[in-house]
Structure 1
Amino acid sequence: MKNKDLFQELRFQLNYYQIKMEMWWYHLWETEEERTEIREALRKRRESGGCSMWRNYLKGHPEAAKYAWEKEFVKGIKNE
């Protein structure tokens, strides 16, 4: 059983470093247009209320609110 756990850990580590290298490599070849598109998509997501994980984090850490929609969300929680 211990060998199985060791093998799974090794697979996880290899996969982790493979993804890390792919992300590093992609950054070298990414065009400015692609970067702008990604930034715009992230901005739209933030403005539309972000993801549920971030909203859950803000519930426990209201001081992390940086943008206007985050501050409004935190105010809404306090008023409830």
Structure 2
Amino acid sequence: MENLISTLEQIATSLRMPAVILAGIALIVGGYYLMIGGQEGKAKAKNWFIGAGVGLIIVLIASEIAKYIANQTGMPY
């Protein structure tokens, strides 16, 4: 079980940088829709902004979630 938690921690750590880059790209796409898309573009931009924010938050706190679950279940971390 310790190996599983360690592996998940390594995966979460390795996904941080690509997630930041992808969130930046999503924000750029959302900005494009906001500036060029008119009323329909505002709705698309809002979805892009929300998706980028939520995805980035999930990836950045994934290791903390793993630590919390390990502590709550009594598994060594």
Shorter-chain TM-score range: 0.3 to 0.5
Which structure has the greater CA radius of gyration?
A: 1
Give the TM-score normalised by the residue count of structure 1.
0.36
Greater relative contact order structure (CA < 8 Å, 6+ sep) = 2
Give the TM-score normalised by the residue count of structure 2.
0.38
Larger helix percent? 2
